[in-house]
Amino acid sequence: MNALQIPAFNAAMNGTATVLICAGFACAKLRRTRAHRALMLSAAAFSALFLIGYVTYHAMRRGMHTPFGGTGAIRTVYFAMLVSHIALAIAIAYLVPRTFLLALQGDYERHKAWARRVFPLWLYVSVTGVLVYFFLYRWWPA
C-alpha cells in the first residue's frame, strides 16, 4: 500500500468502526451482553487499525498536511468539524480504553455510567473521521 491509498483505508476503518459501535450499542440496549462485548472490541480493533494507518500516513508524508480545497461557508464547516474531531479524538484515546477496562474488570455500573458519555463522543469521532476523508479527497480536494 502506498501513501496515497492510506486515507481511503483509514476512512474504511472509521466507517467499519462506526457500524460496529452502533451495532454494539443496540446489543447493549437489548441486553445481548456477549454480542455487545464482541462488537465493541471489534470496533476498538478497527479504530486501532485506523490509528496505525493515520500515523503511518503522516510518517510517510513527513508531516506534510493535505490542503482543503473548499471555499466560503463550507470551509468554515470543515474546519469547525476538523477541530472538534481532533480534540475529541485525543480525548477518546483515553476514554474508550478506560470504559473498556471498567467492563473487563466487572465494574458494570461504572462502565455503564462512563459508556453513556463516551459512546456519543466515540461515535462522533468515527463519523467525522469518514467525513474528513470525503471533504479532503472526494468532495473538495485541493
Q: Is the dihedral of CA 38, 126, 23, 50 positive or negative?
A: negative
Cα separation of 60 and 70, whole Å? 25
User: Look-up: residue for cell 454480542?
Assistant: 35
Look at the chain and report how many structural domains it folds into: 1
Model pTM score: 0.89
In 3-state terms, what secondary structure has residue 141? Answer: strand
DSSP helix/strand/coil, 96: helix
pLDDT in tens, the chain (142 residues): 777 788 999 999 999 999 999 999 999 999 999 999 999 999 999 999 999 998 888 888 776 788 899 999 999 999 999 999 999 999 999 999 999 999 999 999 999 999 999 999 999 999 999 999 999 999 998 8
The three three-digit cell numbers of residue 33, written as one number: 451482553
- Domain ranges, residue 101: 3-139
